[in-house]
Homo-oligomer: A and B are copies of this chain.
């Protein structure tokens, strides 16, 4: 297929961006080793020229599986117990489905070796074109693995230690935690507990530190308890224990909505009114929280938009979509509903 002389070429993009052909190719193929600045310059140049890597893309497309892999290292009952992933997957489907792409899901327990083996196998057997990654981890080994395997991947979240892994994140991922601290302080809460998730996740540590520091700046030191799993049963047990303390908290913030709802149920079953005797705050703003009575105050992150943006970014890396800036994801923010009220000091 000959190119029309009027059509932009990869050389035009390289010239406009002031980089080599190979750098353009790397950016378009989602390879590593490219600085964010160069990647942005390439994408801007491609967008200005309305250049799509069509010849390559068309050739590649023929051997495409039109399947995107998502390997989740949590127990296989995860989708059932935490709709967080389901919402994100729904968001990704909204981009993938109309383009004829499917999502290849692999759920496995928290077993790093089995996880690496799965990535290797999916690549070796050419069963997926690229990957969506979730739950950025401390010392995350997946980025290096996928660079070694030479497959594009987009992380939903903040990479550990500024790894150049392509990723999408909320415009202000920690603002919601600051809002939550401010909200509870404004309501007069001074005995506050924070029930966080497992400590090996980047977001778990960042959110807790953000919340604790914001409270401390106002002279309040929250009690913190780290759950070993993001788990309703553990949330219930921890809540029961917190509420038995003589200086029991007047407000509890949980790492996610399902934990918050389980904690709220435990408090109510113990005869403590929510929000009269205890204020409860969740995270993720899942649909169920709004239907619940009392409706759950929660930090909203636009999970569906995150899933959609990640899918779009991956399709661009695959040359299936014209290049462009990564879509804006709204900042996280606190949605105040019925489960928080003025502190009652007993």
Contact = CB atoms under 8 A, between A and B. Distances in A.
A304 B80 CA distance: 9
Interface string A64-86: 01110100000011111101001
Interface stretch (A221-229, A257-265, A315-323): A257-265
Please give me the 7 A-B residue pairs with the lowest Cβ-Cβ distance, nearest first. A79-B86, A262-B291, A265-B293, A268-B293, A80-B87, A102-B104, A93-B107
A100 interface: yes
Contacts of A102: 69, 104-106, 122, 127
5 contacts: A97-B106, A100-B121, A102-B105, A103-B104, A261-B288
Contacts of A258: 288, 291
Given A97-B106, A236-B291, A288-B288, 5 more contacts: A65-B127, A66-B127, A76-B91, A76-B93, A102-B105
A41 interface: no
Given A86-B83, A106-B97, A287 B232 contact: yes
Contacts of A105: 89, 93, 102-105
Nearest to A128: B102
Interface of A: 65-67, 69, 76-81, 83, 86-87, 89-91, 93-94, 97, 100, 102-108, 121-122, 125, 127, 232, 236, 258, 261-262, 264-266, 268-269, 286-288, 291-293, 295, 303-304
Nearest to A81: B287
A339 to B, nearest CB: 12
Contacts of A286: 80
Nearest to A107: B93
Please classify the interface of chain A as helix (H, G, I), strand (E, B), loop, or mixed, using the class held by over half of its residues.
helix
A303 to B, nearest CB: 8
A292 B125 CA distance: 44
A66 B106 contact: no
Contacts of A103: 104-105
A38 to B, nearest CB: 34
A262 B292 CA distance: 6
Contacts of A269: 293
B67 A127 contact: yes
Contacts of A87: 77, 79-80
Nearest to A308: B76
A67 B288 contact: no
B304 A77 contact: yes
Contacts of A65: 127
A97 B74 CA distance: 12
B80 A94 contact: no
Best-surrounded residue of A78, A90, A121, A295 (most CB of chain B within 10 A): A90
A293 B265 CA distance: 5
Nearest to A236: B291
A274 to B, nearest CB: 9
Contacts of A107: 90, 93, 97
B97 A77 contact: no
A66 B125 contact: yes
